């Protein structure tokens, strides 16, 4: 029997971080909300135990609704210490509440963005996800105009901090790049989600090739059920992601059909890692 690095990873005999070296810098992470540990430090330990290289953290509002929990220095230090102790990166942060408190119109969301930049930098993460879904979906030109204005205001601070502001929405790749061009900052990029693009009627494979790694700051991987059994061709998708030279985190945003988060996440992780061999 031919023994490959892929088979050793599957058997748990090679650490995922070492196996990832041959993927050209592509790293596999997971969202804390899909670990069902949204805003919980324990997400780092679970992500590490499953074998991920990083965890994307939710920036959860504090009890008063105005501040973010991670504005608490003690909590911030706890995350940083756990990341170092466990040897797992903080893949990025996410303003998940901006699907409810809209960035385009709510001052509170804009204040969260302002403090999210230094928080993310202190965690040694490099991406803030800014989502525009649910009631905050970008549908009107006036909403896009407002977002452009807000991004122009905060992009200089993000540039200084070395942090990217990732736009995730149902707009096409070209519409997102128009926003980026209007803002005119290297800090504003696309947070690409293949399934979201498909659901919105776009061609994710064509869009990935068109965007290239120069316009993508981070990627979400998900589907209806297990990866490889849904509508997204991840054999094709992961090949393109590597071909365009993407070198950051691709984070699993997958659900748990069986009810076991750990087992289902490990199954999806193994599937994607196998495609990178």
Give the CA-trace dihedral at 39, 12, 219, 59, to 10 degrees.
10
Share of the chain above pLDDT 70, in %: 91
Q: Which residues contact 260 (CB under 8 A, 6 or more apart)?
A: none
In eight-state DSSP terms, residue 242 is H
In eight-state DSSP terms, residue 193 is E
pLDDT for the residue numbered 191? 98
Task: Answer positive or negative: Cα dihedral of 90, 144, 61, 72.
Answer: positive
Which residues of the chain carry a pLDDT beneath 70?
1-24, 277
Encoded tokens for 50: 């499953």
Q: How many domains are contained in the chain?
A: 1
CATH number at residue 100: 3.20.20.150
Report the alpha-carbon distance of residue 261 to residue 67 in Å, rounded: 30
pLDDT for the residue numbered 15? 46
Distances (CA, A) of 109 to 112, 147, 230: 5, 11, 34
pLDDT for the residue numbered 232? 98
**Domain region containing 185:** 5-275
């Amino acid at each position: 029997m031919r023994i490959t690095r892929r088979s050793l990873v599957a058997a748990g005999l090679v650490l995922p971080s070492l196996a990832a070296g041959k993927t050209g810098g592509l790293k596999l992470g997971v969202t804390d909300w899909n670990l069902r540990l949204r805003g919980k430090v324990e997400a780092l330990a679970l992500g590490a135990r499953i074998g991920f290289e990083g965890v994307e953290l939710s920036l959860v509002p504090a009890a008063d609704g105005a501040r973010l929990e991670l504005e608490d220095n003690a909590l911030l230090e706890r995350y940083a210490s756990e990341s170092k102790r466990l040897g797992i990166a903080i893949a990025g942060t996410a303003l998940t509440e901006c699907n409810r408190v809209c960035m385009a119109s709510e001052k509170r969301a804009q204040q969260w963005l302002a403090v999210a930049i230094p928080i993310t930098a202190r965690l040694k993460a490099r991406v803030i996800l800014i989502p525009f879904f649910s009631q905050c979906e970008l549908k009107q030109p006036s909403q896009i105009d407002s977002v452009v204005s807000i991004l122009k205001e905060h992009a200089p601070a993000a540039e200084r901090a070395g942090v990217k502001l990732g736009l995730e929405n149902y707009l096409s790749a070209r519409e997102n790049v128009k926003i980026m061009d209007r803002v005119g900052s290297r800090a504003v990029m696309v947070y690409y989600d293949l399934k979201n693009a498909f659901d919105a009627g776009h061609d994710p494979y064509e869009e990935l090739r068109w965007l290239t790694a120069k316009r993508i700051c981070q990627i979400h991987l998900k589907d209806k059920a297990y990866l490889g059994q849904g509508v997204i061709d991840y054999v094709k998708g992961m090949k393109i992601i590597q071909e365009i030279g993407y070198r950051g985190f691709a984070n699993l945003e997958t659900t748990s059909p069986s009810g076991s988060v750990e087992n289902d996440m490990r199954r999806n992780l193994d599937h994607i890692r196998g495609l990178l061999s």
